[in-house]
Amino acid sequence: MAPQSDATKPAAPNRTETFVWGIPQNGLQSKERQVGRDEPPPLPANSELTYIGKPTERYDGPAKAMGKGKYTADINLPGMLYARMIDATIPHGRIVSIDTSEAEKLPGVRAVHVIEHVYGVAELRDPKMEAPSRYPVIRYYGQPIAGVAAISQQIANDAAQLVKVKYDTLAFVVDRSDARAEDAPMVFPGPADAAGSAGGGGGPKGVPQTGNVHGPQQKKNGDVEKGFAEADVIVEGEYFTQVQTHSALETHGFVVDWKPDEVTVYASTQGTSSVRNEFADVFKLPKNKIRVITEYMGGGFGAKFGAGNEGVVAANLSRKANAPVKLMLDRRQEHIVCNRPDSHQKLKVGAKRDGTLTAIALTSYGTAGVGTGAGTAGPANNMYKCPNILTEEYDVFVNAGPGAAFRAPGHPQGCFAFEQTIDDLAAKLNIDPLTLRETIDENPARKVERQIILERTNWRNRKPAGSDSGPVKRGMGIAQSVWYRFVNMNSSCEVRVSRDGSVELLSAVQDLGTGTKTMLAVIVAEEFGIPPASVGIRIGDTRFPIGPDSGGSVTAGSITPAARNASYQVKQKLFAAVAPQLGTTADNLVLKGGRVAFKNDPSKSYTLKQVTAKMPTDEISAQATRVAEYSKERITYGGVDYVELAVDTETGRVHIEKVFGAHDCGRPINPLGVISQINGGILQGISYALFEQRIMDRNAGYMLNANLENYKILGAREVPEIEVVLVENYIAQSSTDAAGIGESAGIITLAAAIGNAFYNATGVRMRKIPMTPANVLSALGKVQEVQA
Amino acid sequence: MNKFVFVDCKTVDEALGQMSDGAIVKAGGIDLLDLMKDGIVTPPKLVNIRNISSLQGITAGKDGLHLGPLSTLSEIAAHPEIQKNYTALANAAGHAATPQVRNMATLGGNIMQRPRCWYFRSSEFDCKKKNGASDDCHAHTGENQYHAIMNNETCAMVHPSSTAVPLLAMNAQVELTSKRGKRTVAMSEFYVPPEKSLINETVVQPGELITGVFVPVPEPGTRSAYQKYGEKESFDWPLADAGVVLVMDGTHCRKAWIVLGVAAPTPIRSTAAEAVLTGKTIDEATARAAASAAMKDATPLSQNGFKTQLFQTAIYRTVLLAAGQMQPDPSAIG
């Protein structure tokens, strides 16, 4: 998760304000909150606002479409060198020697750096369990070993081929179930733990470990034995999900310019702050000597925080060569350095005849390769009311690249199992799945979302499971998601107003393609009554006030209050500065509809430019930092997704024909951006459910499909009709009430919704993803199950 | 990628003069560049034939269909005469890869593609096919879900050419030219199965260039179709594909050619399936019987048994499509 701040501690109150509260479909209510002195007045509902809540085109869309947006890979500095990472060619073993002499002799090579420490993987609790070596132990095929920098990428690539590594190989295992065997090769000789990143991931620390099995992390509520004894019906299920790789369009990479007075780092990152922090830690530098820049970013999905091995190598090469160095991973490396762990889950759910849940028990095993963080219990623990819950999550080490936070860590896997089990329960109780959820789900937003699904989809015409005759069978299904409100207090913005009337916002926060720039422009635009496109947005640079790392859907909820507060405060400063010239006092001025007017005499009003022209200095600015949540109330977000599909039972193809999603994320700031995120989440969810899977060669420990040809991602022809409805949910927690949508955007639900629709179509429960022809035909009993 | 010399040729003679010392011919460059980037082939010289005008052009006349080997897949797919009388070929060309690839890929290059096998296409693996020391077929002992289900004992690679499937079903011939002269090889003799040679995938000899592909005029009553099946529709390799040519008399089938694409290391005719249809009325039952016969001798590996089911579907649905008894299948890919 994101660094969880003390956001629930209320700020020093000194006034009471009345906020809009609740969900419009239920009738909006009001809520009184104590707020700090510098807080702007409460925002009314979106329907009463000019820019907030209205669709706004992407701020940097034209620049991106015209190729003018410079991503990290596009950064070219004078005298810059090109680097190539050198990776292990065995899955497990010890490095005996590394000979870089031939590489160093190649004309054009400027520096070689051999890695001393591997980041982003689990580490032995007791490092003494392994014999000391100057080289890290190789635990996966593709583990970075060294980097080389040269005057061209071709020379760097050639030089990488000349580095000779000698290994002592060790036995290895790449399959999760093989790794659980008592006599399995040990990935670590003793207990090992992995730290999470700023985006989450990482498993529990200090839990028991037997062989390669790390855990369990146990979460217990009530008494499940008692709960199952009280149940009228019990459903059980076993589910399997695959390893998914992030496959961000822009691979991981850095351009590092190491200068004695400042290290400048261009990073493809989700967290400029996380990069600066890790550079400071690794290189023992004060933070004022590190500048991190991420102006345009080509996707991360959770896997791009901190310096990473590639950042550390690029920095070392730059320092050694005394020149800027660009190091972008290639596509194969990108597939190997991060992933969503797989899972094997056993679920048992007990309920009364009316559907009331009495007990939930989940045991899950998953592999995050040489990392941890394969837990799947989020949905089971947090979606429905149930007095007795027991979840036990195990990580299984294998010799494969480490797992990393990946869009709603653990939740797509967990939801695939849990929401299908709930569907099984509905079938067993002979209750409509939507109706069952009315009984067990207390979340008010999802209640509205289910109603929308009921009214606007074909749900009422749903036929009993397996009704269709003929080879092609149609069905529909739903699944729900849950995500959490995380706030990162390291969220600051500066807003400047210039004498010419132009307004700009500065913050180190980055836009990883999710629309952060647009959202910030909308916030400033609303406060000043000027079009969003006219606001200057300068972000993604640690020279600006600190921004939150973008993981766990924290960005919108963390940074927009700072942006609004800074806008509001600079406006108050502006009023104070010009009031004497206007012949009034600051508190008599109000900015509305793009004009500054006298409160006591609305006939007196000026354009913003007329007012700024009277500023005593050329610029007025204010900086604001995220203040604590207004109250301690906890809320979760979520959505309900509906899928219509056709299963061709003779080809094993699953055709998704329609997806209808109803989602909530507090107050939507830019609905166009939010819906775009949900469209993306739905497509990524379909891709996860039907196509994507890492394929490891069991005999070599090598990823066979580390490319975009055989690692299959949904394409244009697989895109169904998608309709998305946003449910506004005003929570009176901050000056914007915004929240992120990255996680609960469809990626969590789609595999489960597709599974439920598959069952409705065929009467057969899909217990394994991806739903490829091999897996589907096997589930339908058309062919024998594929081994491993 | 290795450094190489690039020679741009304007005539066949010029190209033939350059084809020595390990030079590789480049037409569209689609498969070749992938192989070079992955370090599977490292030619010292590329002979670019892309601009040889005599190798371009399509003529369809009373004596049959003459295809310049530089005809792009897009040109073949869009050709009205091919769509009408050589339908399976238009289908195969029009559903290969992606629109961008089809605009670049040539017919000659398409039938000369190197096999699909992720062990063959990774420089990390050694095998006999790559002149290597390792005796193992990694697919036999490893991950083989996409590999061959027939004739897979020596090597389990599959041949990916979709156009080769209808060309074989239509008894096409390939013209090869070298400094020694010209020769013509039937499609049925064009590919060399691994049990005959692991190294030579076709009969094309060093110094020989494909200078034409000829498809004879179909008999009256001929109908044909090609469909492929796989995991996804956008840009994916087929896991099963079928080319079907039927000579029909109403619903009565006088002659049948059924060719399977990615079933084996080379495109293969299923005489067993053809025998089921010949002399019969085509309906769903006979089409399914033919499909089942085609898979009778399949020898799937540990993970690709599902391909036999996929092939049966591909065959029966494509037979029905060719016979005009079914619409193009929305479950087909490409």
In this predicted structure, the answer to whether residue A2 has a pLDDT above a threshold of 50 is no
**Nearest CA to A669 among A547, A516, A510, A554?**
A516
- Pick the residue from chain B with its C-alpha nearest to A774: B306
Out of B124, B235, B330, the one facing A702 most closely (by C-beta) is: B124
What would the two tokens of residue A435 be? 């109706």
Cross-strand partners of A210: A213
Q: Tell me the nearest-neighbour CA distance from B217 into chain A, angstroms.
A: 34
CB hemisphere CA count around A575 (13 angstroms): 21
Quote the DSSP letter at residue A399.
S
Phi, psi of A388 (to 5 degrees): -125, 110
Q: What is the pLDDT of residues A592-634, one digit of tens each?
A: 888 999 999 999 999 999 999 999 999 999 999 999 999 999 8
Q: Exposure of B137 by Cβ count < 10 A (0-12 exposed, 13-18 middle, 19+ buried)?
A: buried
What would the two tokens of residue A530 be? 């000027």
pLDDT band at A498 (very low <50, low <70, confident <90, very high): very high
Instruction: State the Cα–Cα distance between residues A518 and A441, nearest whole angstrom.
Output: 34
Q: Does A780 touch chain B if contact means CB atoms closer than 8 Å?
A: no
Q: Is A679 helix (H, G, I), strand (E, B) or coil?
A: helix
| Range in A12-26, A476-490, A684-698 with the lowest mean pLDDT | A12-26
Phi, psi of B187 (to 5 degrees): -55, -35
In sequence order, which residues have a C-beta less than 8 Å from that of residue A771 and are 6 or more positions away?
Answer: A652, A654, A689, A690, A754, A758
What would the two tokens of residue B233 be? 């529709």
pLDDT at position A3 is: 42
Pairs across A and B, CB distance < 8 A: 96
Which of B2, B34, B331, B333 best tests the A interface by mutation, with the highest count of A CBs <10 A?
Answer: B331
Tracing tokens 């329960």 back to the chain, one arrives at: A425
Q: Does B230 touch chain A if contact means CB atoms closer than 8 Å?
A: yes
pLDDT band at A786 (very low <50, low <70, confident <90, very high): low
* Cα-only R_g, chain B: 19
List all residues of chain B from 234 to 273 with a beta carbon under 8 Å from chain A.
Answer: 234-237, 239
Q: Exposure of B250 by Cβ count < 10 A (0-12 exposed, 13-18 middle, 19+ buried)?
A: exposed
Q: Tell me the nearest-neighbour CA distance from A651 into chain B, angstroms.
A: 6
In sequence order, which residues have a C-beta less than 8 Å from that of residue A154 and are 6 or more positions away?
Answer: none
Q: What is the pLDDT of residues A65-79, one digit of tens each?
A: 999 999 999 999 999
Please enumerate, as own/partner, the contacts of A131-136 that have beta carbons within 8 Å and a separation of 24 or more. A131/A94, A133/A94, A133/A95, A135/A94, A135/A95, A135/A98, A136/A95
Phi, psi of A602 (to 5 degrees): -60, -15
Instruction: State the Cα–Cα distance between residues A652 and A785, nearest whole angstrom.
Output: 13
Residue A746: left (phi > 0), alpha (psi -120 to 50), or beta?
left
- Global pTM reads 0.97
- Cβ neighbours around B88 below 10 Å, total: 30
pLDDT at position A6 is: 47
Provide the residue ranges of all domains of chain B, joining segments of one domain with +: 56-327
Q: Does B197 touch chain A if contact means CB atoms closer than 8 Å?
A: no
Instruction: State the Cα–Cα distance between residues B246 and B234, nearest whole angstrom.
Output: 29
Out of B233, B303, B313, the one facing A650 most closely (by C-beta) is: B313
Which of B31, B234, B292 best tests the A interface by mutation, with the highest count of A CBs <10 A?
Answer: B234
pLDDT band at B206 (very low <50, low <70, confident <90, very high): very high
In this predicted structure, the answer to whether residue A785 has a pLDDT above a threshold of 70 is no
pLDDT at position A784 is: 67
- Helix (H) and strand (E) counts for chain B? 13, 12
Q: Does B154 touch chain A if contact means CB atoms closer than 8 Å?
A: no
H/E stretch holding A374 reads none
Q: Is A21 helix (H, G, I), strand (E, B) or coil?
A: strand
Tell me the DSSP string of B207-240: T-EEEEEEEPPPPTTEEEEEEEE-S-SSS---SE
Helix axes A671-690, A411-429, angle to 10 degrees: 80
In this predicted structure, the answer to whether residue A451 has a pLDDT above a threshold of 70 is yes
The whole-angstrom distance between residue A115's C-alpha and the CA centroid of its chain comes to 28
Q: Do A700 and B302 make contact, defined as CB atoms within 8 angstroms?
A: no
Tracing tokens 């900015």 back to the chain, one arrives at: A591
Dmax (CA) for chain B in angstroms is: 59
Q: What is the pLDDT of residues A542-575, one digit of tens each?
A: 999 999 999 999 999 999 999 999 999 999 999 9
Q: What is the pLDDT of residues B242-293, one digit of tens each?
A: 999 999 999 999 999 999 999 999 999 999 999 999 999 999 999 999 999 9
List all residues of chain A from 83 to 112 with a beta carbon under 8 Å from chain B.
Answer: 89
Percent of chain A scoring above 90 in pLDDT: 95
Q: End-to-end distance of chain A based on CA atoms, in angstroms?
A: 32
Phi, psi of A493 (to 5 degrees): -140, 150
Instruction: State the Cα–Cα distance between residues B108 and B167, nearest whole angstrom.
Output: 12
pLDDT at position B128 is: 86
H/E stretch holding B272 reads helix B271-277
In sequence order, which residues have a C-beta less than 8 Å from that of residue A430 and are 6 or more positions away?
Answer: none
How large is the average pLDDT for residues A191-216? 89
Percent of chain B scoring above 90 in pLDDT: 95
- Helix (H) and strand (E) counts for chain A? 18, 32
Out of B143, B235, B331, the one facing A695 most closely (by C-beta) is: B143
pLDDT band at A196 (very low <50, low <70, confident <90, very high): confident
Q: Do A648 and B235 make contact, defined as CB atoms within 8 angstroms?
A: no
Q: Which CATH architecture has domain B56-327?
A: 2-Layer Sandwich (3.30)
pLDDT at position A12 is: 58
CA distances from A393 to A225, B115, B169, B172 (A): 18, 43, 56, 60
Q: What is the mean pLDDT of chain A?
A: 96
Taking a C-beta distance cutoff of 8 angstroms, is the pair A487, A473 a contact?
no
- Pick the residue from chain B with its C-alpha nearest to A686: B232
Percent of chain A scoring above 70 in pLDDT: 97
How large is the average pLDDT for residues A135-144? 98
Phi, psi of B319 (to 5 degrees): -60, -45
- Pick the residue from chain A with its C-alpha nearest to B126: A700
Q: Tell me the nearest-neighbour CA distance from B136 into chain A, angstroms.
A: 11
Out of B119, B237, B305, the one facing A783 most closely (by C-beta) is: B305
Question: Is residue B166 reached through a cis peptide bond, with omega within 30 degrees of 0 on the bond before it?
Answer: no
Q: Does B292 touch chain A if contact means CB atoms closer than 8 Å?
A: no
Q: Tell me the nearest-neighbour CA distance from A154 into chain B, angstroms.
A: 8
Q: Exposure of A354 by Cβ count < 10 A (0-12 exposed, 13-18 middle, 19+ buried)?
A: exposed
Residue ranges in A553-670 assigned as alpha helix (H): 555-582, 608-612
Instruction: State the Cα–Cα distance between residues A567 and A573, nearest whole angstrom.
Output: 10
Chain B residues whose beta carbon lies within 8 Å of the beta carbon of residue A773: 229-231, 239, 306, 310
What's the residue count for chain B? 334
How large is the average pLDDT for residues B208-230? 98
Chain A residues whose beta carbon lies within 8 Å of the beta carbon of residue B122: 702, 704
Kindly provide the ipTM of the predicted complex, given to two decimals.
Answer: 0.97
How large is the average pLDDT for residues A2-31? 78
CA distances from A707 to A713, A775, B101 (A): 10, 22, 17
Chain A residues whose beta carbon lies within 8 Å of the beta carbon of residue B146: 710
Q: Is B187 helix (H, G, I), strand (E, B) or coil?
A: helix
List all residues of chain A from 466 to 485 with a beta carbon under 8 Å from chain B.
Answer: 472
In this predicted structure, the answer to whether residue A788 has a pLDDT above a threshold of 50 is no
Q: Does A332 touch chain B if contact means CB atoms closer than 8 Å?
A: no
- Pick the residue from chain B with its C-alpha nearest to A787: B303
In this predicted structure, the answer to whether residue A381 has a pLDDT above a threshold of 90 is yes
**Nearest CA to B23 among B41, B43, B48?**
B43
Taking a C-beta distance cutoff of 8 angstroms, is the pair A597, A590 a contact?
yes
Out of A651, A696, A700, the one facing B331 most closely (by C-beta) is: A651
pLDDT at position A5 is: 46
pLDDT band at A787 (very low <50, low <70, confident <90, very high): very low
pLDDT band at A167 (very low <50, low <70, confident <90, very high): very high
Out of B119, B145, B312, the one facing A774 most closely (by C-beta) is: B145
